[in-house]
Amino acid sequence: MKNVFKSIAAVTVLAFNFAVNAQTQKNENSVLWEVSGNGLVKPSYLFGTIHMICGKDFVMKPKTADAFAKTAKLVLEINMSDVDELKIVQQAAVGKEPLSKTLSTKQIVQLEEVLKNNGGLTLAQVDSYTLETVMSLLFMKSFGCTDLKFYEMEFLAKAKESNKPIVGLEKATVQLDILSKSFTEDELIAYLQKIDSNMTKTMIKEYTSENIDGLYAMTTDKELMSATTKETLLNNRNMNWLKIMPEMMQKESVFFAVGSAHLAGDLGVINLLKKAGYTVKPIMN
């Protein structure tokens, strides 16, 4: 279960990254962006992750390695090198009460059907977990491989090798609180019903082509994510990050690695940085 706990820390946002929605401004296809100007002495870099991916699809392109090498600090959504932060995530994976006691009879039937069809699991096997944890487990299974790679973990290893400091944009308690309040149990079960290998294949295709607009569209489909949920999970968090990113970049060159869904959109990190006066340009292949 150790690997499961690690994956939960890495996919707390991935668990809500699917669908199709219009976007007003098209971005170039790149998951790596340079942030400069507005008084910065050195540029910083913004990288969009997919959180996890099969080994055969994992790529750390030279442009990414080069940008990482130029920076003095690694910043993730949460500091996954902090043992206390990981403990909080691990503890949150287990529910306060069994799902069999908190869900209605109808919800239990729906969940059992999802587990049977997509995960090969039983309710008894996941009864002590939260629905968010079950979602993470099903996403892991939908990749259809046993050699899952985590971009955050790769960056953590690189940072430790080069003695780069590692910090988080938000605390694990904050992130988990946001996730717990974003969806009702019915909405989560409806989301579970949508998870399958085809969805995952589409996501991988969009990511490997570095189509951040496509990934954003998959995240914000109105059938799966309400306007309120979008505001809570993406927009508000992006704006909160923009309150602390400038000070970080002013002090030194920073490598930010966050879920790709946070990059695009009118209130995405790229556009918010531009509105704040920074020059933000894609680093192409």
Instruction: Say what the pLDDT of residue 277 is.
Output: 97
What residues does each domain of the chain span? 2-282
Contact 147, 99 (CB under 8 A): no
Instruction: Report CA Rg, the chain.
Output: 18
Contact 16, 226 (CB under 8 A): no
If you ran DSSP here, which 8-state letter would residue 55 be given? G
SS3 38: coil
Instruction: Say what the pLDDT of residue 26 is.
Output: 81
* pTM score of the predicted model: 0.89
Per-residue pLDDT of the chain in tens (285 residues, 90 and over written 9): 444 444 444 444 443 343 333 344 688 999 999 999 999 999 999 999 997 899 999 999 999 999 999 999 999 999 999 999 989 988 888 989 999 999 999 999 999 999 998 868 899 999 999 998 999 899 899 999 999 999 999 999 999 999 999 999 999 999 988 888 888 898 889 888 888 888 899 999 999 999 999 988 887 877 767 788 888 889 999 999 999 999 999 999 999 999 999 999 999 999 999 999 999 999 997
Instruction: Say what the pLDDT of residue 37 is.
Output: 97
SS3 186: helix
d(CA 6, CA 80): 9
d(CA 58, CA 204): 10
